[in-house]
Amino acid sequence: MLAGVSLTGVVSGETEPLNLVLPTVNDALFRGGGAEFYQYIERDYKGEKSTPWEGGQYGFVRNPIETAAGIVYTRFHEGIDIRPLQRDASGEPLDSVRAIAAGVVVHTNPVPGYSNYGKYVVVEHRWDGCNYYSLYGHLSAITVRAGQRVQQRDQLGVMGHTGEGLNQARAHVHLELNLMLSRQFEAWHDTLFKNDPNHHGRYNGINLMGLDIARLYLALRKQPSLTIPEFLAEEETFYRVTIPASRHFDLLKFYPWLLAQKTEAAPVSWEVSFNRAGVPLKIEPSAKPVSEPQLSYVKKSSVDPSYLTRDQVTGRGESAHLTDSGKRLMRLLIFPD
């Protein structure tokens, strides 16, 4: 059964193997992706306008700047933009947007102005005992409620172009698959961003770290038994941050597989490894006393790492350090300590 809401009655908290389908009928990702699959972006590079589909991919694909080391794409895109296959006579997209896997709808945002994602839905999935979050953005309509259990391919809504900087021609679904950083997100946000109301509880995009979902779809085709920890083991560590030990360190509770080695005694601090996108890859106990999150490693690069890390790390060599934005985000990991 493809359409409509799912029947309830499935035991909550059950754990399932990782098994993903695409959220719409557009499956060109499996035939090379490209302009058939990805929605283009509107680029203005030094006055030269273009519409590259590459900007719809996951990763550092937007806002090119010229550096001594060549062109660097500085703006990170945390998901993939899938273009519609069906439109009505007036050009409105008609594609149904469906759950990529079974789970529970944990958040719906019906007010476009509340988020850059416009109208969006978040579904919580449980794989190998851990929770992951798929996010579907820019919808024109939402057809589920928070708390509702959905099966894979159940409809969540209809593709649209709600949210910032979109128009009808560029309608698409923005799809992410995320790890969650902290249960304390709302308190952290209310403390640090007093003038910017959060309408999304802990399902705000800032608290959700998107992994390379296109690479994951393709990797699962090759190896259907693949798990998220195995998938992330292939990602490159770009920087490491040492953070004070804290009972609020939810990341370790959410994803115990991040712990590289079992520890007997409680460590004084933890060292967390991140890829360029800020996705946590590994957590190790550390004996280094720190009073606040501190950069302990950044990969050597020919340009300032702020361009390569979503502005979380800046400076090179001895002077490399977390930016203010990097410090704030790392504080979220142990907030309110």
Q: Which residues bind Zn ion (CB under 5 A)?
A: 81, 174
The distance of closest approach from Cβ of residue 87 to Zn ion in the complex, given in angstroms and rounded to an integer, is 19
List residues bridging with 38 in a β-sheet.
Answer: 82
Nearer to Zn ion, 64 or 244 (CB): 64
Q: Kindly tell me which of 163 and 305 has the beta carbon lying closer to Zn ion.
A: 163
CA-CA-CA-CA torsion for 206, 141, 60, 207, nearest 10 degrees? 10
Question: Rounded to whole angstroms, how far apart are CA atoms 181 and 197?
Answer: 19
Based on CB atoms, which residue is closest to Zn ion, 210 or 305? 210
Rg (CA), the chain: 20
Contact of 16 with 131, CB cutoff 8 Å: no
Cβ distance to Zn ion smaller for residue 173 or 180: 173
**Cα 88 from Cα 76, distance rounded (Å):** 32
Torsion angles phi and psi, residue 253, rounded to 5: -75, -40
Cβ proximity to Zn ion: between 81 and 271 the closer is 81
Task: Report yes or no: 140 and 93 within 8 Å, Cβ to Cβ.
Answer: yes
Residue with smaller CB distance to Zn ion, 81 or 250: 81
φ and ψ at 232, to 5 degrees?
-75, -20
Tokens of 170: 């560029």
CB nearer Zn ion, residue 122 or residue 298: 122
Of the pair 172, 189, the CB lying nearest Zn ion is at 172
User: What's the min distance (Å) between Cβ of 46 and Zn ion?
Assistant: 24
Question: Where do runs of H (alpha helix) occur along the chain?
Answer: 34-37, 185-192, 213-222, 228-232, 250-254, 305-308, 324-332
What CA–CA distance (Å, rounded) separates 69 from 76? 19
Smallest separation (angstroms) from Zn ion to the CB of 18: 22
**Nearest distance from C-beta of residue 173 to Zn ion, angstroms:** 9
- In the complex, least distance from residue 174 CB atom to Zn ion, rounded to whole angstroms: 3
Phi/psi at 158 (nearest 5 deg)? -125, 140
Sign of the C-alpha dihedral, residues 273, 277, 278, 281?
A: negative
Shortest Å distance, C-beta 172 to Zn ion? 7
Q: Shortest approach of Zn ion to residue 148 CB, angstroms?
A: 24
Kindly state the tokens that stand for 269: 């601090």
Closest separation between CB of residue 54 and Zn ion, Å?
A: 13
Per-residue b or e along 235-257, where b marks 16 or more CB atoms closer than 10 Å to that residue's CB: beebbbbbbbbeebbbbbebbeb
